[in-house]
Chain A
Amino acid sequence: MTAAVLDHDSAHAHEEHHTSLPVNSRKLAIWTFIGSECMFFASLITTFVIYRDSHAKGPGPKDVFGVPLVTAGTAVLLFSSFFVVMALNGAQQGNRKKLLTWLTLTVLCGMFFVGMQVYEFTHFVHEGMGYTTNLFASSFFTLTGFHGTHVAIGTLWLGTLLKDAYKGRIPPTKAVNLEIAALYWHFVDVVWIIIFPVVYLMSLGR
């Protein structure tokens, strides 16, 4: 029967399979998801902007924000986007050493950023800024907390891919596995590029 060769199960099983648009289905799906996430962070950022001056009780931005540490975290996150591009390049070339080196660096950057945020949150609580101290604090912790959760999930995701790469499970034909994780990683990065000035710099400049 001719139908036997018309393999149905979609782009993600066989990357060379026919798709209506010239893009892998999983890549299209992650782009779709990212579009949706934009509205998620837009809503959280808007909430923060509305409440950033609501700190009549307890500490405000000028009392707690330490720019050097966060700048370092920002820089590390930005570099990690470059690192993951190098790792992807290595995966596409079939260059195992390049893939492993840069992907390891990316995962370390993610871990550093999450660690930075854990330290920062602990520090703020010590300064007397708990989650419910004032609305500035609540909206700050909610926004950056959800961003941090995204970074943590991304780090975990890239970590499992690092394990795959180590076991040689990411040949060039499966580089798209890393590519979609990288797309998500860039997105999380871009959100931080908005959060850093809006939350830290602009709150201090007011």
Chain B
Amino acid sequence: MRFTYLLPLLPLCWAASKDALNTLVDLAAASNGLINLDGNTFDLLTSPKRNWSVSIQFTAMDQRRRCAPCKEFNPSWVEVAKAWTKAPKEHRDQHFFATLDFDNSQATFQKLGLQSAPVVFVYPAAEGPRQLPSGRTTPSKYDFSHGFEAGPLAEHLSNHTPIPIPYKPPFDYAGWTLTAVGGLAFLLTLRFISPILQSRWTWAAGSIVTMLVMVSGFMFTRIRGSPFTGGDGSWIAAGYQNQYGQEVQVIAMIYGILAATIVILIVQTPKQASPNRQRMQIYAFTAANLLVYSILVTIFRVKNRGYPFKLLF
């Protein structure tokens, strides 16, 4: 029964889908390739009869929502969407970029069960030649583990667009200018700074600081993106294989102080002419060495709970 009613409507559906496509193309063209959605246009864009694919950013840009990652990610999204407008027209109209703000359609967020933002969904084409071979029509989610940058985003989304997104990273004028100016300044002042550059102690300071920072886990914090301190204000991360940014500083400093006491005992104290003053120095620096070492061991005991040894405390 029902089918009979629907049958005459079918051509209308096709027409509607054609219309929808045109509407969408217009919408996209009007706003730099990025459609700003509300509930209705969202349904239109993701209609089950779509023969286009679409990638949608769900975000919450309003001040009240306090979504810092949204603000961080949005420029990349706009950038990639803009890059897509440079694609040839026949391909461009088969994939759309859109943004749905939480405040424009809270219902959609609820419907999709989204609890957080930003989220990027890529809806494959549900009909037509660009339908996936697996027949999947449900959206796939972009994995933010690559970060918020536009480059990886464009690269990943290119798997879903008819042709790869013609995204080129913007030319870094500031960076290049800075490098050029810095290089020029270096060359110009080379005559004045060359004594500094030729001094072995400049290099010594550079090397030793580099070493200290490296052995204090700097690369760990860089690669893992550890925060400077914990959320609760603590500066020591719990766990043996984890650390915060501040630990790098503290540990490098401790190593530095300990090394300095040794170096002073070796180099400086023997030069001291007064026996009394020398004795004072020796006692002081040895005590400092023992004390700071004890502190280091104590901090290590915090990191490694099972460590059985301790020094002074």
A in complex with B: no
Residues of B bordering A, CB below 8 Å: none
